[in-house]
Amino acid sequence: MKVLGVSAYFHDAAAALVEGSEILAAAQEERFSRTKHDAELPLRSIRFCLEQSGLEARDLDAVVFYEKPLRKFERILVSHLRGLPRGAGQFTRAIGTWLGDRLWIRDEIAKAVGCPKDRVLFSEHHLSHAASAFFSSPFDSAAIVTVDGVGETATTSIFRGETNSSGSKIELLSELHYPHSIGLLYSALTAYLGFEVNEGEYKVMGLAAYGKPRFLDALASTCRVGSNAELEVDRRYYSWSRSATQSFTSRLEALLGPARTPGTPLVLPAAPGSAAERYADIAASLQAFTELYLLSLLEEAKCRTGESKLALAGGVALNAVANRRLIEEGPFQSLFVQPAAGDAGGALGAAQWVSHVLDGAPRAGGLKSALLGRAEDPAHVARYLDDCHIPHRRFDDRGALFREVARSLASGQVGAMSRGRFEWGPRALGARSILADPRGPSTRDRVNRKIKLREPFRPFAPAVLAEDASRWFEPVPGREDLTTAFMCSVAPATLEAQRELPAVVHVDGTARLQTVTKEGSADLYALLEAFRDETGIGVLLNTSLNLKDEPIAATVADAYSVFARSELDFLVVEDALIERSTA
């Protein structure tokens, strides 16, 4: 059965095409539309999925939307009704967008795809997250926990997934409902700290490393956690259920001090007694509160499922720092996180749910590589560079290209690589990455200078040959960590790494590593090998190929445009090498 999954109209729109257990294509719309977090119906991603797999719309057996739109509409209506007569403006705006397109989603999707209306199906929001985590994991049976801002009404869910000879099933064991949401609490404090919601959460995580959790008790007084991980958000401090624009109240500011104005400078490490110190401490407290909550949630999930393995998804599962703590201190032996854990991932999960649960397709070992996006045709790339008179050298031999790149990196150059299919999920995993030598104290500043405009307190991540990982980063003894292949957790750097690779170690001594295997990314693996031949070190600094506030590059033109507007020393696109000195 060929199933197209679609997510849209909330955060990150995406499409994914699944046949049986195989993921033929998956991409987030922002990569094509070049609008960050594009939430519109993902027309371009849908077209890409069909082209990539050589299918026509009529070949699709089902097209599945990642949630139940009417249930969500009901939640929005009800929460407005409860707030009456406050929030009239917000209500009328919401009605406008729903009457505009969202209530006719079946027709919209059928029209966009070009398929009959009765092929359009609807999953549930958290079920889609859960399916994406379970069916992408290698587990035959597992607890599945999904945690995000809010779906239709659920904010946190515990499922159990099982695959046996008679097929696959996912059972919902329990869920927490809106407005009680750890994800929305994290977002509210992201806004309080002056960052953009759904974008700044990473920054809060980076900021947390600079602070001390001295506001933990204060935060805990705004959100009660029950003995079995029930969560009760105090509405005197948080207003997301009453206002679309303001998620926290003046009472929260009375408790924690004034909120940070977006865009104002944040100098770190902060001077004692400064506002920056307070913000870092609040970030650290929020991070600690979230981790403690998730730990108690996992205990509850363990208790309800009796499983030893855990698959995790939902936006909160992108918190790499928390994930490490869950592996170390949580009750589960193994942890897997689906790389597109946010709402984009719902497109994949919805399709996998139809394929495995409703249609009974057998499974095949889980997600090995996140490179599911669009590749550029090397001939097109060559012609584009020629036509645009962009000086470059072409390499027929990949080994020779990577040797040259490894030498340039080892000599201190900072470059980018764009090859093959782009990544699924929010992280650059080497297919569209900026790379640098992780050694030397000045690398971090050099990279920051060349690509500019990034908050200097955000850490750079290392990509490491999987077989060398334990030399540089501490594994968790006795636990199976399946999150590092997709950069979904952090690990403490070894003493050697702290000494040798300062550019990729954050102030708290950890790194958000990506362990690279041949299966996961043949190109990055080969480049790391070439770099190790050159330097003895199989680690590279890896950050996404984009400038601030832009989606990660997809095409040759996107990649070149980043190169042209930055001071990167070189750019590899497919088998062409463009160098700053000659370009």
Partner 1 sequence: MSHAVIARLSAPLVWRRPKNMARKLAEFGATEAGSALDMLRASELCPDPRLRRIFLRHALDEARHARLFRHAADQLDPRARHELSSRAQSHQRLRDLYAELGAEAFLAFVLRAEQSGEGHFRALVNELGRSEPELATLFLAVAKDEQFHVAYSAHWLTRLAGPRRPARIRAERLSSLWLAWRRAGRQIGERVSWVLGVLLYFAVLPPFALMLRRLESDDPGWKPARSLPSSIEEARRQF
556 near partner 1, rule: CB under 8 A = yes
SS3 390: coil
Q: Which of 23, 204, 207, 233 is close enough to bind partner 1 by CB under 8 A?
A: 233
| Partner from Fe ion, partner 1, none contacting 82, C-beta within 5 to 8 A by type | partner 1
Token pair of 112, please? 């966009």
Distance, CA of 17 to CA of 27 (rounded, Å) = 9
| Partner from partner 1, Fe ion, none contacting 565, C-beta within 5 to 8 A by type | partner 1
SS3 231: strand
Distance, CA of 553 to CA of 546 (rounded, Å) = 6
Query: Taken in order 95, 99, 101, 104, is the CA torsion positive or negative?
Result: positive
Residues 127-146 that bind partner 1 (CB under 8 A): 127
Residues 462-521 that bind partner 1 (CB under 8 A): none
| Partner from partner 1, Fe ion, none contacting 148, C-beta within 5 to 8 A by type | Fe ion
Minimum gap (Å) between residue 343 Cβ and Fe ion: 4
Distance, CA of 348 to CA of 243 (rounded, Å) = 31
Query: Which of residues 196 and 328 has its CB atom nearest to partner 1 in the complex?
Result: 196
Q: Which of 101, 196, 468, 508 is close enough to bind partner 1 by CB under 8 A?
A: 196
Residues 319-358 that bind partner 1 (CB under 8 A): 354, 357-358
Amino acid sitting at position 324: R
Residues 133-162 that bind Fe ion (CB under 5 A): 148
Kindly write down the DSSP assignment for every residue of 479-527, as one continuous string: -EE--GGGT---EEBPHHHHHH-GGG--TTSEE--EEE-TTT-HHHHHH
| Partner from partner 1, Fe ion, none contacting 231, C-beta within 5 to 8 A by type | partner 1
| Partner from Fe ion, partner 1, none contacting 354, C-beta within 5 to 8 A by type | partner 1
Token pair of 577, please? 């090498």
67 near Fe ion, rule: CB under 5 A = no
Phi, psi (rounded to 5 degrees) for 334: -130, 145
SS3 of the chain: helix, strand, coil, percent, to 5: 40, 20, 40
Contact (CB, 8 A) for 141 and 163: yes
Q: Which of 54, 96, 273, 536 is close enough to bind partner 1 by CB under 8 A?
A: 96
Minimum gap (Å) between residue 315 Cβ and Fe ion: 6
Contact (CB, 8 A) for 153 and 71: yes
Query: Which of residues 356 and 444 has its CB atom nearest to partner 1 in the complex?
Result: 356
Token pair of 314, please? 């939902």
Minimum gap (Å) between residue 177 Cβ and Fe ion: 14
Distance, CA of 563 to CA of 412 (rounded, Å) = 17
Residues 349-408 that bind partner 1 (CB under 8 A): 354, 357-358, 384, 386-389
Minimum gap (Å) between residue 90 Cβ and Fe ion: 21
Query: Which of residues 271 and 564 has its CB atom nearest to partner 1 in the complex?
Result: 564
Query: Which of residues 132 and 241 has its CB atom nearest to partner 1 in the complex?
Result: 241
The strand pairing partners of 170, in sequence order, are 161
| Partner from partner 1, Fe ion, none contacting 93, C-beta within 5 to 8 A by type | partner 1
Q: Which of 22, 59, 217, 232 is close enough to bind partner 1 by CB under 8 A?
A: 232
**Piece of the chain touching partner 1 by CB under 8 A; list 4-12, 113-121, 364-372, 459-467:** 113-121
Q: How many chain residues are in contact with partner 1, going by CB under 8 A?
A: 76
Q: Are strands 514-516 and 309-313 parallel, antiparallel or unpaired?
A: unpaired
Residues 235-254 that bind partner 1 (CB under 8 A): 241
Report the Cα–Cα distance between both ends of the chain, in Å, rounded.
Answer: 48
Minimum gap (Å) between residue 245 Cβ and Fe ion: 21
Minimum gap (Å) between residue 322 Cβ and partner 1: 21
State the Cα torsion 225-152-299-317 to the nearest 10°.
Answer: -100
Q: Which of 226, 269, 391, 399 is close enough to bind partner 1 by CB under 8 A?
A: 226
343 near Fe ion, rule: CB under 5 A = yes
Q: Which of 9, 10, 91, 186 is close enough to bind partner 1 by CB under 8 A?
A: 91
100 near partner 1, rule: CB under 8 A = yes
Contact (CB, 8 A) for 260 and 191: no
Q: Which of 175, 328, 404, 533 is close enough to bind partner 1 by CB under 8 A?
A: 175
Query: Which of residues 388 and 507 has its CB atom nearest to partner 1 in the complex?
Result: 388
Per-residue HEC secondary structure of 158-188 comes to EEEEEEECCEEEEEEEEEEECCCCHHHHHHH
437 near Fe ion, rule: CB under 5 A = no
Q: Which residues of 559-570 are buried (b: 16+ CB within 10 A; e: fewer)?
A: bbbbbeebebbb
SS3 286: helix
Where along the sequence are the contacts to Fe ion (CB under 5 A)? 148, 343
